[in-house]
Amino acid sequence: MELENIVANTVLLKAREGGGGKRKGRSKKWREILRFPHISQCNELRRGLEPDYGSLCEKQPIGRLLFRQFCETRPELLRCIRFLDAAADYELAPDEKRKEMGEEIIRRFLHQESPDYLPEISQAHVSRCLEELQKSPCKELFSSCLHPLRQYLSRAPFADYLDSMYFDRFLQWKYLERQSVTKDTFRQYRILGKGGFGEVCACQVRATGKMYACKKLEKKRIKKRKGEAMALNEKQILEKVNSRFVVSLAYAYETKDALCLVLTIMNGGDLKFHIYNMGNPGFEDERVVFYAAEICCGLQHLHQEGIVYRDLKPENILLDDDGHIRISDLGLAIKIPEGETIRGRVGTVGYMAPEVINNERYAFSPDWWGLGCLVYEMIAGQSPFRARKERVKREEVEKRVQEEQEHYSDKFSEDARAICTLLLAKDPQQRLGCGADGAAEVKRHPFFRTINFKRLEAGITKPSFVPDPRAVYCKDVLDIEQFSTVKGVNLDQADNDFYAKFATGSVSIPWQNEMIETECFKDLNVFGPNGTRSPDLDWRQLPEPPKRSLLQRLFRRHPADCPIGAPVPSPQPAATNSHLPAAGAACQARSTAPAPS
């Protein structure tokens, strides 16, 4: 039995290291899986994409890189890109270097005598920057300059980009993004744990070698528990949120028996494990402040999307390979209509806010209570209203939450005690984070005086603790309890309609980030010599018809080749990105990925 666990862990660790070969975990057929279609096959896709500068050139990672490549071919646009880069570097600079960097940016880009001068930025903006730099070189010094520059880029330069080979290449990437997603898209590895409706296992994308966690929701178990709305809600919320502090959804697909969410893999274990199983319970102050700051950013990103999380606890905060954290398990999260409040008695005993226990209406206040509970537990080594392993009834814990004041030991610094007291205020009107400024109010507290939130949100701040890369921070394979077989449940057409809403294939931004991080973008994004179009981008050079196999050549006397644009009957892909229109039958037929090896 122990041998089975050792083998499972060894195989997983080998996969995490990229397999040890030159392909970095990629399939032998990775180039075939990610082969660009000829540009003539992307006409429907081109017509279906809305020409929005913000979406195509800023939000989408591959779109941003290709627009930059286009700008680099024109000196007047290259100056704009360099200024945007310099302004971004300035925002992330340490306080002591900011004034010097600000003066250099103004001298280089905002003085009329400079060869890199930007006439698109008015003198009024320049004067304001000079004045503010002399007073105090704040992080937002150049914010007022960015808007007119982006306005300029979104007009004639953007129109020219849409007619360029760089945008044509973007369409080819979008075409690949829409390939069907099935279980054959991935290699499956050991079980990592259990969710509410099924197992969570490690998996790896065959084409890129990227590791993920696959959360399987068994179809019959969902139906038996009437969990369709909850499952779809979690999927849609994960799809909507794009934050380095919240687990990302990369793919959603279905198998015969399960719906599958492919999520960011977090190899470093959860906070509960690290609080209680790595020496004395609790953390030193530096580590508590760092985790609390990243959780605060994650909550802010959720709240900006109108989402309240409602289940903050140590086991839902996961560490990645580098020691950064992400909020996970959004099964209880819900979107609140703007300006409204909701009611719902959900959460985990000991972490639920008083207003949740009392079934009162609320907006985002339960999450700031949850942050207070987490900060307290990371310092004290126990939750504020329940001792470690204390056997006590739910009603007693809820009474303590409503009526008792938490106790502070000498482990708490003055700032730590102050922020916990404010976050654990019984009245949400008095609670830190519940005012008009929300998360910004929490970030300003002296507890976070050592945190530069701009650098933290850019992923520049280094964690003080890094998990052991040779460790597997989860239970042994055989210690993870098996699910029982669901009996007496039959699936019908109504269920299939629900599965179609769920299994939508790849999610745009995580998929594009995967291509960049695994260097598939770098390896494949090749143009012709001297800035010319490659054959797959050449409108005058139509693609060759697909090669026929030996059996086709022997037994089919007159096989009809499919001309470009002709309708071709093809099976419906298992899961395609629902955010883009269908690209036409011929396009769909070729977009189905060959079964990877």
Q: What residues form the annotated binding site for ATP? A: 224
Express the helix, strand and coil content of the chain in percent, nearest 5 each: 45, 10, 45
Sign of the alpha-carbon dihedral angle for 453, 455, 457, 459? negative
Using the 8-state DSSP alphabet, how is residue 199 labeled?
E
Cα(484)–Cα(482) distance, integer angstroms: 6
Alpha-carbon distance of 30 to 209, in angstroms, equals: 9
56 Cβ neighbours under 8 A, 6+ residues apart: 49, 63, 67, 167, 170
Q: Which two tokens stand for residue 125?
A: 């903006």
**DSSP classification of residue 342:** B
- Coil, strand, or helix at residue 587? helix
Could you please report the per-residue DSSP string of 12-56? Answer: HHHHHTTTTSTTTT--TTHHHHTPPPPGGGGHHHHHHS---HIII
- Which positions ≥6 away from 30 have C-beta within 8 Å? 23, 206, 207, 208, 520, 596
With contact defined as beta carbons under 8 Å apart, do 373 and 351 qualify?
yes
The answer to whether the Cα torsion of 556, 557, 563, 568 is positive or negative is: negative
CB 245 within 8 A of CB 325: yes
Show the tokens assigned to 515: 């291509």
- Cα 116 to Cα 110: distance, rounded to the nearest angstrom: 8
**Residue 170 is inside which H or E element, if any?**
helix 165-177
Distance CA 596, CA 25 (A): 13
Give the contacts of 173 (CB within 8 A, at least 6 positions apart).
62, 66, 512, 515, 521
Cβ atoms 364, 423 nearer than 8 A: no
Among 42, 355, 257, 274, CA closest to 170: 42
The sheet with strand 211-218 has its strands ordered as 186-194, 199-205, 211-218, 258-264, 249-254, 505-506
Q: Which of 311, 320, 367, 536 is catalytic?
A: 311
Q: Is 95 a catalytic residue?
A: no
| Start-end of H helices in 283-434 | 285-304, 354-357, 365-380, 394-403, 414-423
CA distance 434 to 426: 12
* Three-state SS letters, 523-577: HHCCCCHHHCCCHHHCCCCCCCCCCCCHHHHHHCCCCCCCCCCCCCCCCCCCCCC
Annotated binding site: 224
Strand partners, 386: 383
Q: Rounded CA gap, 197 and 218, in Å?
A: 6
Catalytic residue numbers, as ranges: 311
